[in-house]
Amino acid sequence: MATALHSVILPCSSSSDPRAALLPGVVPSPTVVSVGRSSFSLPEFSGLKIHTNSSSALASLNSRTSRVFRRGGRIVCEAQGTALDVPIVTDTTWQSLVLKATGPVLVEFWAPWCGPCRIIHPVVAELSEEYAGKLKFFKLNTDDSPSIATQYGIRSIPTIMIFIDGEKKDAVIGAVPKTTLTASIEKFL
């Protein structure tokens, strides 16, 4: 895979320590990024941290006021509260969490390599927050629990199933819009 971005130049903060711009959690405000001959400003945001693969990137000074990050450096978002996590169900917990659950249960059948699954994850997580207390949400990795997926005839992922009193009531196949999942959920509440 080719890398289009070869270097990013970030100005140091006005601190007396030139390494201050590289300390975890410290992003100069505002940050001017230069890529090739173009430069632009990034909005102020303290949820980004700069991670490098080697200490040589820390020692790489372009001038007294800037740092150069060669290949291997990356900026990682560590903002909290941006993603909701839906609990995982497995072969061993399926019976107690889904089949013997009181009230309706929504299960997302997915796999880590599935692109459409990654698209629908945030939608399911958002719905889990909206329907908290009314509907239980779980996700089942079909690679880790193939017997459950086979038992319910899962041939395509993502598949969303709704269970009531251990009985499958509805299934939605594919990365569908939130409105489609909401309509399916509302039928059983």
Which residues have a catalytic role annotated?
A: 114, 117
Neighbours of 183 (CB within 10 A): 12
Task: Beginning with the edge strand found earlier in the chain, give each strand of the sheet holding 38-42 in spatial order.
Answer: 38-42, 31-35, 8-11, 66-69, 61-63
* Cα–Cα separations (whole angstroms), residue 89 to 6, 71, 121, 156: 42, 39, 15, 18
* Pairing verdict, β 8-11 and 66-69: antiparallel
Task: Report the C-alpha dihedral over residues 95, 83, 115, 70, rounded to 10 degrees.
Answer: -140
* Cα–Cα separations (whole angstroms), residue 39 to 72, 75, 182: 21, 17, 43
- Token pair of 133 as six digits: 């207390």
Close Cβ partners of 179 (under 8 Å, ≥ 6 residues apart) = none
